[in-house]
Structure 1
Amino acid sequence: MSETNSMVVLFLQGPPGVFARTIADSLEAKGVKTLRVNLSAGDWLGWHDRRCTSYRGGLENWPEWLRTFIKSNNVTHIVYYADRVPYHVAAAEIGAELGATCLTFENGYLRPDWITLEHDGMSSHSRFPEDPDLIRETGLLLPEIDRRPLYKYPFVNEAVNEVSYNMANVIFALAFPGYVRDKLYHPLIDYLSNIPRLALASSRNRRAYHVIDDIIATGLPYYVFPLQLQSDYQLRYNSQYDHIGDAAEEVVVSFKKNAPSAARLVFKVHPLDNGIEPWSRILGQIAKKHGVKNRVLLVDGGNLEQLLKNAAGALTINSTTGLHALRVGCPTKVLGIALYDIAGLTCQKSLDEFWRSGTAPDPELLDALERLLAATIQVKGCFYTKEGREAAASLMAERMIADTVNLPGALCKSPPRLEKARSRNIATTFSEQLKSRGKTEQWSHVWRG
């Protein structure tokens, strides 16, 4: 029996749309059997052919059902998008128990035009190395990265898929009565809140550019904290913070005590923020509480790279904007768990020390890291154009069949960041997530410090 004939690849949830099905089709064309479990109406909308089975039970019964399904179908590989979604956390644990290869994919670290594909999980659960000497030694031997933007797409392509998927889960909820949406906000509230944001985007951007110009023109030192989306599952499941407001207050307290007296702290709203979290009020309350109201600024729009190029430092919980800061040589402090939080790149000193002695990234080590990323856990392509989907799906299928995901040189025996996550009381197991499930979906999750 050939290697491909012995493979049975089970797909769980993918990004909204048909991308997961495109990977499966590419595998099938190479002789690999593929299966799919649909957990929700949105899943069914994107993929409902002979390969699909629907699971309509509750989340608490999912592990045992999945264990039986994997055994009955001789599954050898499990593939899922968004590794910290509770269904996928359970799948990773069961896959490890039964000896199946677990692979996860997500938006790429080297965006645009890249997709991440790696073993098991990301951030806390990534098996990508964090040893700077190993990264330098391995990465610098690899070829330069193809950074050409080949698969551009209008935002509407992504928006249509997102809205269709999530609203299908609301409208046809009774078709999958046991499904638990991993969403912080109800989709209807989320999408309706975007309407005024979109309508005022141009004027908001113009104001932001003026504010940024003024910040830079003063010549005074400033630090940038780009806000993530409060709904970002990487934030909720790979950091110690229940809300960004908690991180913001920690940063403001340290800033007041330790930053140069002339310095300012600039928070920047995420470009896709839906407006539900009242950042101006939240950050204003924190700044006023700690007596730094005139030194804390909020920018909503404008060019982040321009801010970073002139900043004394940048802070992030675990956003990929940290990589953007490193690329422009900005000293960067990571508060949560991030793959690129590596000695020689990000500041490894305490937050209190960061303000006056933040360390700039080593450009050679950054080059080695990005080359190693591109060669081992990144594939060129995108989710939302036919050409981009097919290019990425073909490469991902080839790597799965050849068993070269995370290779060469980027597959640690165990996740090197996992102990750090556990020490910060970050939920790392399915049972831990079940206990804290009340935090995963609310109409709003506004910070109340």
Structure 2
Amino acid sequence: MGKPSFAGKRVLLLQGPVGPFFWNLAKDLRGRGAQVFKFNFNAGDWLFYPRGAQSYRGSLQGWPATLRAFMQAQAIDVVLVFGDCRPVHACVRDLCTQLGCALGVFEEGYLRPDYVTFEPFGVNGHSVFGQDLQEWLFARTLLDAAPARKTKAAESEALHTVKVGNTYWHAAMWGMAYFFAAWLGQKCWNNGLHHRPMTVADAPYWWLSFGRKAWYKIKESGIEAQLCSTWHKNFFLVPLQVYNDAQISVHSDFASVCEFMNLVMRSYARALQAERDGQMPEGGQSLEHTRLVFKHHPMDRGHRHYGKVLKLLAQRYGLQEQVRYIHDQHLPSLLKAARGVVVVNSTVGLSALGHGAPVKVCGAALYDMPELTYQGKLRSFWHLAHTAAPEPDLVLRFKQALVSRTQLNGSFYRKIAQAPWKCGVFLNGQMAQRLWPETVNTTQGVATTKSTVKAHSRARKKQSRTASRRSNS
């Protein structure tokens, strides 16, 4: 059997990332012999895919039947989407399983900024990576394959990474154009199908975000230096996630970011009080001179501000001296200086592992595995974080396994000069190989995938419940 490819495949694109990525990807796929179809759901989609697409203006309730009929009529082989938790994508996995189609899901990279994510059937909590720890065991067996790599340059070489650089302003530019177009075209489209509000009332949040970024640069100018010197290894970093992130609403048991903040602060306060009562765990480090630092998500800067909430929580738990709230400091520097990092399931946890920081995961994350992250309860992590520092070579092997199975080098938002594909991502046959593994034929592949996804779904639900119980303070 030859290597899998898109030649002769009938590909359906649904919603993609903001910007022209899907438009350029369609060109790349056609150039490799595929026939490409596309659905647009609002004027923002149309702006970046203006020709050769179907327009869906109906209700969310009527969408699954429309999609099923289209997939059957056009004999679709594979559906490609960006994000598997968007309203218009929620039904796609089941439909693909029922109709024997492949499903490929793009998402922001697990290893940013140099990678994007592409997996069959789902990402994040829906990912099949690491099922039964097979991939992790594979990475673990490679520990002695090469000497430890001490530099980032050496790590990039080991991962065969082409550097992408900062894409924030590219993403912001495409995002503003997308949402402005969607607002202008709202009378002709059902903007309620999108996972984010697309009204003119949302526009000020973008400008507020830019304004706050400038203000925080002035107001918090000395905080990073203080944390990285005076408080070096004496603070815990808590990176917050976007308020409406599916990682919170779908892949964790937290109802909101505020609920997570409350749990973290309560747990820290109890651990501090236990130490004062003489109940510190054996071998634990003191918390008396530590700080608890909450870092706001940069993409949430204009939409949420947790200052008042954190102040009230700090007063409730007697932590006015310990709690800090920061915004736009250099994340890698903070990760290197932190005693430990606490996340729900953010990809910042992966970055933290790469910088040698002990990590405690409070939700369901594909990197929450023995020998990588702290597996005990959150309340003991505060004193025992130093015992959970990851082994650098082990982290590198895990990243190599992650890259080979889930990541694509490149960016959704800017073109990479070295990339031969118009879309800006090094695909090199990896998409087709992940969608149609060479070791099975199509019929077997579909059957195997069905059972794999069902088993994986049960395992992920169990993992989420277990993670929640483990993280209780």
Q: Secondary structure at the match of 1:212?
A: helix
Q: Distance in 1 between matches of 2:59 and 2:143?
A: 44
When the two structures are aligned, how many residues end up with a matched partner?
420
Q: Distance in 2 between matches of 1:187 and 1:109?
A: 30
Shift of 1:220: 7.2
TM-score w.r.t. the length of structure 1 is 0.85
Q: What are the ranges of 5 or more consecutive residues in structure 1 without an aligned counterpart?
A: 427-449
Residue 210 (str. 1) matches residue 239 (str. 2): no
Aligned to 2:152: none
Q: In 2, are the aligned partners of 1:117 and 1:405 still within 8 Å (CA)? A: no
Counterpart selection for 1:261 from 261, 285, 288: 288
Q: Secondary structure at the match of 2:23?
A: helix
Shift of 1:211: 2.2
User: How do residues 42-441 of structure 1 correspond to structure 2 at under 5 angstroms?
Assistant: 42-50=44-52, 52-129=53-130, 131=133, 132-137=136-141, 144-149=158-163, 151-152=164-165, 155-177=168-190, 179-183=192-196, 185-186=197-198, 188-215=200-227, 216-218=229-231, 221-259=234-272, 260-358=287-385, 359-387=388-416, 390=421, 395-396=426-427, 398-403=429-434, 413-414=452-453, 416=456, 418-421=458-461, 424=464
Shift of 1:179: 4.3
Q: Distance in 1 between matches of 2:14 and 2:145?
A: 35
Aligned to 1:436: none
Q: Secondary structure at the match of 1:294?
A: coil
Q: Distance in 2 between matches of 1:406 and 1:127?
A: 14
Shift of 1:119: 0.7
- The change in CA–CA distance for 1:284 and 1:360 in structure 2 (over 3 A counts) is same
Q: In 1, are the aligned partners of 2:104 and 2:120 still within 8 Å (CA)? A: yes
TM-score w.r.t. the length of structure 2 is 0.81
Q: In 2, are the aligned partners of 1:27 and 1:397 still within 8 Å (CA)? A: no
Q: Distance in 1 between matches of 2:351 and 2:45?
A: 33
- The change in CA–CA distance for 1:268 and 1:402 in structure 2 (over 3 A counts) is closer
Q: In 1, are the aligned partners of 2:242 and 2:299 still within 8 Å (CA)? A: yes
Q: Distance in 1 between matches of 2:54 and 2:180?
A: 21
Decide which moves more: 395-404 or 26-35. Answer: 395-404
Q: In 1, are the aligned partners of 2:110 and 2:347 still within 8 Å (CA)? A: yes
Shift of 1:373: 1.9
Counterpart selection for 2:11 from 5, 9, 12: 9
Corresponding letter in the other structure for 2:401: L
Q: Distance in 2 between matches of 1:336 and 1:204?
A: 29
Decide which moves more: 390-399 or 236-245. Answer: 390-399
Aligned to 2:35: 33
Q: Determine what percentage of the aligned residue pairs are the same residue.
A: 26
Shift of 1:332: 0.5
Q: In 2, are the aligned partners of 1:269 and 1:300 still within 8 Å (CA)? A: yes
Shift of 1:89: 1.9
Q: Distance in 2 between matches of 1:405 and 1:320?
A: 27
Aligned to 1:437: none
Residue deviations 1:317-365 (CA, integer Å, cap 9, x gap): 1111111211121111111122211111111111112111231112222
Q: Distance in 2 between matches of 1:138 and 1:240?
A: 34
Q: Secondary structure at the match of 2:193?
A: coil
Q: Distance in 2 between matches of 1:56 and 1:331?
A: 48
Shift of 1:290: 1.8
- The change in CA–CA distance for 1:253 and 1:18 in structure 2 (over 3 A counts) is same
Residue deviations 1:17-75 (CA, integer Å, cap 9, x gap): 2111211211111111111111222111111323x111221111111111111111000
Residue deviations 1:71-119 (CA, integer Å, cap 9, x gap): 1100010100011112112111110111100000112122223111111
Query: RMSD of aligned C-alpha atoms?
Result: 2.9
Q: What are the ranges of 5 or more consecutive residues in structure 2 without an aligned counterpart?
A: 147-156, 273-286, 440-447, 467-473
